[in-house]
Amino acid sequence: MINFDLSTEKLRLAFGNKNYRKGYSAIKHFFSQNNFEHHQYSGYLSRAAMSYAEVYDLVLDSMVSKLPWLATCVQKFDATNVTSQSNMLNAIKQTASKQAADIPSLLEGDDEVVL
Protein backbone atom coordinates (compact mmCIF):
# COMPACT_ATOMS: atom_id res chain seq x y z
CA MET A 1 0.00 0.00 0.00
CA ILE A 2 1.36 3.40 -0.93
CA ASN A 3 0.07 6.59 0.67
CA PHE A 4 1.34 10.09 0.07
CA ASP A 5 0.67 13.76 0.68
CA LEU A 6 1.43 16.48 -1.83
CA SER A 7 1.76 20.22 -1.27
CA THR A 8 -1.14 21.95 -3.01
CA GLU A 9 0.89 25.15 -3.09
CA LYS A 10 3.75 23.45 -4.92
CA LEU A 11 1.36 21.63 -7.26
CA ARG A 12 -0.12 25.03 -8.18
CA LEU A 13 3.39 26.27 -8.99
CA ALA A 14 4.12 23.17 -11.08
CA PHE A 15 0.79 22.97 -12.95
CA GLY A 16 -0.85 26.37 -12.52
CA ASN A 17 -3.70 27.40 -10.22
CA LYS A 18 -6.47 25.85 -12.29
CA ASN A 19 -4.62 22.67 -13.26
CA TYR A 20 -2.95 21.61 -10.01
CA ARG A 21 -5.13 18.47 -9.77
CA LYS A 22 -3.37 17.16 -12.88
CA GLY A 23 -0.60 16.02 -10.55
CA TYR A 24 -3.00 13.64 -8.81
CA SER A 25 -4.30 12.45 -12.20
CA ALA A 26 -0.74 11.75 -13.39
CA ILE A 27 -0.02 9.72 -10.26
CA LYS A 28 -3.28 7.79 -10.62
CA HIS A 29 -2.41 7.01 -14.24
CA PHE A 30 1.11 5.92 -13.28
CA PHE A 31 -0.12 3.56 -10.57
CA SER A 32 -2.91 2.10 -12.70
CA GLN A 33 -0.33 1.38 -15.43
CA ASN A 34 1.79 -0.42 -12.83
CA ASN A 35 -0.86 -2.77 -11.43
CA PHE A 36 -2.10 -0.67 -8.51
CA GLU A 37 -5.67 0.29 -7.70
CA HIS A 38 -6.74 3.61 -6.25
CA HIS A 39 -7.87 2.90 -2.73
CA GLN A 40 -8.71 6.08 -0.82
CA TYR A 41 -7.68 9.68 -1.25
CA SER A 42 -3.94 9.41 -1.94
CA GLY A 43 -3.72 5.69 -1.32
CA TYR A 44 -2.89 2.96 -3.83
CA LEU A 45 -2.92 -0.78 -3.26
CA SER A 46 -0.86 -3.20 -5.36
CA ARG A 47 -2.97 -5.83 -7.11
CA ALA A 48 -0.15 -8.36 -6.64
CA ALA A 49 2.31 -9.01 -3.85
CA MET A 50 5.44 -6.86 -4.09
CA SER A 51 8.61 -6.77 -2.07
CA TYR A 52 9.89 -3.49 -0.66
CA ALA A 53 12.73 -3.70 -3.19
CA GLU A 54 10.22 -3.87 -6.04
CA VAL A 55 8.30 -0.91 -4.64
CA TYR A 56 11.50 1.10 -4.22
CA ASP A 57 12.56 0.28 -7.79
CA LEU A 58 9.17 1.26 -9.15
CA VAL A 59 9.07 4.55 -7.26
CA LEU A 60 12.73 5.57 -7.46
CA ASP A 61 13.57 4.32 -10.94
CA SER A 62 10.34 4.73 -12.84
CA MET A 63 8.00 7.12 -11.04
CA VAL A 64 10.55 9.84 -10.27
CA SER A 65 11.81 9.87 -13.86
CA LYS A 66 8.29 9.93 -15.36
CA LEU A 67 6.97 12.53 -12.88
CA PRO A 68 9.93 14.86 -12.29
CA TRP A 69 7.78 17.45 -10.45
CA LEU A 70 6.96 14.84 -7.76
CA ALA A 71 10.17 15.45 -5.81
CA THR A 72 9.28 19.12 -5.31
CA CYS A 73 5.62 18.56 -4.47
CA VAL A 74 5.72 15.49 -2.23
CA GLN A 75 5.47 16.02 1.54
CA LYS A 76 5.09 12.42 2.65
CA PHE A 77 5.36 9.09 0.83
CA ASP A 78 4.89 5.80 2.67
CA ALA A 79 4.93 2.17 1.58
CA THR A 80 3.19 -0.32 3.87
CA ASN A 81 3.22 -4.09 3.66
CA VAL A 82 -0.41 -5.22 3.63
CA THR A 83 -0.69 -8.94 4.27
CA SER A 84 -4.47 -9.10 4.40
CA GLN A 85 -7.36 -6.77 4.03
CA SER A 86 -10.85 -6.84 5.45
CA ASN A 87 -13.64 -4.63 4.14
CA MET A 88 -15.58 -3.60 7.24
CA LEU A 89 -18.16 -1.43 5.46
CA ASN A 90 -21.06 -3.89 5.83
CA ALA A 91 -20.23 -4.59 9.48
CA ILE A 92 -20.16 -0.85 10.25
CA LYS A 93 -23.52 -0.29 8.51
CA GLN A 94 -25.14 -3.28 10.25
CA THR A 95 -23.88 -2.16 13.66
CA ALA A 96 -25.03 1.42 13.08
CA SER A 97 -28.44 0.19 11.90
CA LYS A 98 -28.85 -1.97 15.01
CA GLN A 99 -27.79 0.90 17.28
CA ALA A 100 -30.22 3.26 15.53
CA ALA A 101 -33.02 0.73 16.09
CA ASP A 102 -32.17 0.63 19.82
CA ILE A 103 -32.32 4.43 20.26
CA PRO A 104 -36.16 4.73 20.52
CA SER A 105 -36.25 2.17 23.34
CA LEU A 106 -33.50 4.05 25.14
CA LEU A 107 -35.43 7.30 24.89
CA GLU A 108 -38.62 5.92 26.43
CA GLY A 109 -39.18 6.89 30.04
CA ASP A 110 -37.84 9.75 32.13
CA ASP A 111 -34.26 8.59 32.39
CA GLU A 112 -31.63 10.91 30.92
CA VAL A 113 -29.69 9.29 28.12
CA VAL A 114 -26.29 10.48 26.98
CA LEU A 115 -25.35 9.38 23.46
pLDDT at 114: 47
Taking a C-beta distance cutoff of 8 angstroms, is the pair 7, 75 a contact?
yes
Structural domain spans, the chain: 2-107
Of 53, 26, 36, 41, which is closest to residue 1 (Cα–Cα)?
36
At 24-68, the pLDDT tens digits run: 999 999 999 999 999 888 999 999 999 989 999 999 999 999 999
SS3 6: strand
pTM of the model: 0.73
User: For the structural domain made of 2-107, what CATH number should be given?
Assistant: 3.30.70.240
pLDDT at 93: 77
Q: How many other β-carbons are positioned within 10 Å of the β-carbon of residue 68?
A: 10
At 70-91, the pLDDT tens digits run: 999 999 999 988 776 667 677 7
SS3 78: strand
